Copies of this chain bind each other. A is one copy, B any other.
Amino acid sequence: MHSHPLRSEGVIFGAEYNPEQWDLATQSQDIPLMVEAGITMVTLGTFAWGALETDDGVYDFKWLRRVMDRLHAAGISVCLATPTACPPMWLYHAHPEMAMTNRTGVRLGQGSRQNWCPSSPAYSRYALRLVGRLAEEFGDHPALAIWHVGNEMGCHNTFCFCERSAADFRQWLRERYGTIDRLNHAWGTAFWGQYFRDFDHIDPPRETTTLQNSAHRLDFARFSSDRQIALYDAERDILKSIAPDVPVTTNFMVTEHISSIDYGSFAEHVDLVANDHYLIADDAQSWRELAFCADRTRGLSDNRPWLLMEHSTSAVNWQPRNIAKTPGEMRRNTLAHIARGADGVMFFQWRQSAFGAEKYHSAVVPHAGTETRIWDEAVALGASVARLAEVRGTTADTAQVAIVFDYEAWWATQLDGHPTVDFSYSTEMRSIHSALLDRGIAVDVVPPKADLSKYSAVVVAGLYMMSQELADKIVDAVERGTHLLVTYFSGIVDSDDHVWLGGYPGALRETLGVRVEEFTPLRAGESVRMQVTDRHPGVAEDELTGSVWAERLRNTTAESLAVYSDPALDGAPAITVRDAVGPTGGSAWYISTHLAPPSLAAVVGEFCRVARIRPAARVRGSHVEVIRRRGDDRSYLFAINHSPKEAFVDAAGTDLLTGEAFTGRIPLRPGDVRVIREATA
């Protein structure tokens, strides 16, 4: 059993609350409605710097105290944000150099959010002064459950290119490399004659003529991520010094399209991992992306319960087409996060704004008020979440499979001059996650530092950059019996973005028993065909297809599971298996193309058979998610039907949401969710 550090009970059901946007008459309706909806915690203060410090050193905490007092009286706890995401306009006016400078040298203007340089001394001085005052005012307030530093740190201001940021970057480089020679070696400045004589000669990687030094850019990404963590730490240290017992966190943005901060490093700095997650509306199966991101968040939390700080009741406002959720979709989303380890689920925001840039972002109380589908569903959902109180503190069932995920490797895939623009690290990982999800198989998404040898199988998908240390760890796990599945463009470069020479994938080719001579990426829309050999009769398809990529590879100690049937690569290995790595080792599989979903399902199915990976439960139906949370003496099977057809799950126990008891075959209506307290945990 694990426990998160919040002074609250059951599974938290909450929302971000911005009373300062509303008149008092409207505010007076809020708390009764929150009680009706079953809200147990709200986030306050996120954008309130200007309302709390109305002029330099002039504070107004009264309104916030009044709100907190009333929430406390209603039994609702508070996640109190330090309002440092959006400095007030008087401060920008006094310190114009505080604003962000973009890659082309433009200092950005007013009217948006988070427009401050992360290296600005003025920003830090004022922000930390306010954080101290806030902690003194509210650190002992009985409603206070947790501090929330800033908001979505680095969402818009990770990369600042001003001279102050340049100076900080140089200092960071000095500390990383010590001597300029070591930097020159790491950055490969011998290429294109870029040798530096002195750290003082180095700038951030501003707009330039053409392809830019990849290691220079990579280090700027590392530096910029570190800056955000340092900003967090500075606030946290002040909060801890004044209110040492209150936990501190900030809301991450673990989402398919955001890669700017290394949350793998950041997670060690928070008392509780908290995440914001929004669906990409254009993705018709966005529940798959949600499942992957929730597993990533659980991985950051080292499998301890985490907090979903923000999601939406329906549409957002920042996508090209902001698709509303269909009836039941919010409920499935919320419960899917809980299924994958969240012990609290909150919405942005409580009441839909009447003005401002996010007024078309859905909320618990819509513009149309409480006589709405959204409100009705939210109230029902609040009741459902309350019924799950006993789930709190359990964790995801031990997964047999791990996918290794690394932010630095992600950054490295975004550098200039790669074989094809069609490669996407997150797509590669998610494809395999989805293939496993469809089989009901639980997956841990783990950082490079994780212990891999405890897993039956490890997946390395598109992990372009791989340190010697990680490679050694993978090899070690395989030699000790773990089965390994590797996809193309993994293990190509070391941590300085230098290619592992001698044949790709340099870091793993011995283990895989293959040697790739050459990448042969495909044209846009082009596909490649493969023929399955006789070696693995369990593979469900005879012919496989891929896109994006192919390779010219040779087997050394592996054998081919499938060979290319296209002219240029005729008969060459496409998918390979090395049966056993060493006397007691697992098998090692390599896929040299981006397999189409049915082809990937066939290969992953065979891999699971060989590695003896078992699903959480047997399902009849498709698009059904099953996953288990387990405590010391009990277990809960979550089953979510994302399809418009009825499905059945083989399990026994009592549905916490309805109270129904089942002895084996549990029906699951279209779009429905069940949380089964299992009979025989």
Contacts and interface: CB of A to CB of B under 8 A. Distances in A.
Contacts of A419: 315, 317, 321-322, 360
A109 B506 CA distance: 33
Chain A interface size range: 35 or more
A209 B501 contact: no
A321 B423 CA distance: 10
Given A201-B89, A524-B321, A357 B502 contact: no
B106 A207 contact: yes
A359 interface: yes
A517 interface: yes
Contact of A110 (B190, B202, B518): B202
A374 B190 contact: no
B211 A112 contact: yes
B355 A498 contact: yes
Q: Is the interface of A mostly helix, strand, loop or mixed?
A: loop
A353 interface: yes
A195 to B, nearest CB: 4
Interface stretch (A48-56, A443-451, A654-662): A48-56
A197 interface: yes
Interface in A199-252: 200-217
Given A188-B354, A522-B321, A194 B110 contact: yes
A355 B497 contact: yes
A324 interface: yes
Interface in A416-433: 416-422
* Copies, count: 3
Contacts of A552: 324, 373
A273 B202 CA distance: 38
A369 interface: yes
Contacts of A258: none
B193 A49 contact: yes
A406 interface: no
Q: A200, A315, A320, A518 — which one has the most chain B CB atoms within 10 A of its CB? A: A518
Interface string A338-372: 00000000000000011111111110001111011
Contacts of A193: 47-51, 83, 85-88, 113
Contact of A374 (B54, B85, B208, B518): B518
A24 interface: no
B518 A366 contact: yes
Given A203-B109, A282-B523, A322-B419, A355 B188 contact: yes
Contacts of A361: 417
Interface string A478-501: 000000000000000000111101
A20 interface: yes
A417 B112 contact: no
Contacts of A501: 354, 367-369
A195 B51 contact: yes
Interface string A96-120: 0000101011111111111100000
Interface string A455-491: 0000000000000000000000000000000000000
A552 B313 CA distance: 15
A568 B671 CA distance: 12
A43 to B, nearest CB: 14
A7 to B, nearest CB: 28
A566 to B, nearest CB: 10
A567 interface: yes
A125 interface: no
A207 B86 CA distance: 17
Nearest to A103: B109
Contacts of A367: 499, 501-504, 506
Interface in A247-273: none
Q: A20, A213, A517 — which one has the most chain B CB atoms within 10 A of its CB? A: A517
Contacts of A188: 21, 353-356
A217 B644 CA distance: 44
Interface in A522-541: 522-524
A138 interface: no
A374 to B, nearest CB: 7
A519 interface: yes
A644 B567 contact: yes
A90 interface: yes
Contacts of A369: 501-503
Q: Which 7 A-B pairs have the closest CB atoms?
A: A191-B356, A109-B206, A188-B355, A211-B357, A156-B209, A50-B195, A111-B212
17 contacts: A55-B197, A89-B202, A90-B198, A104-B104, A105-B107, A110-B208, A192-B356, A315-B520, A321-B523, A323-B521, A324-B552, A355-B497, A357-B417, A361-B417, A362-B518, A367-B503, A373-B517
Interface of A: 18, 20-21, 47-51, 54-55, 83, 85-90, 92-93, 100, 102, 104-115, 155-157, 187-198, 200-217, 281-282, 314-315, 317-318, 320-324, 326-327, 353-362, 366-369, 371-374, 416-422, 496-499, 501-504, 506, 515-524, 552, 567-568, 644
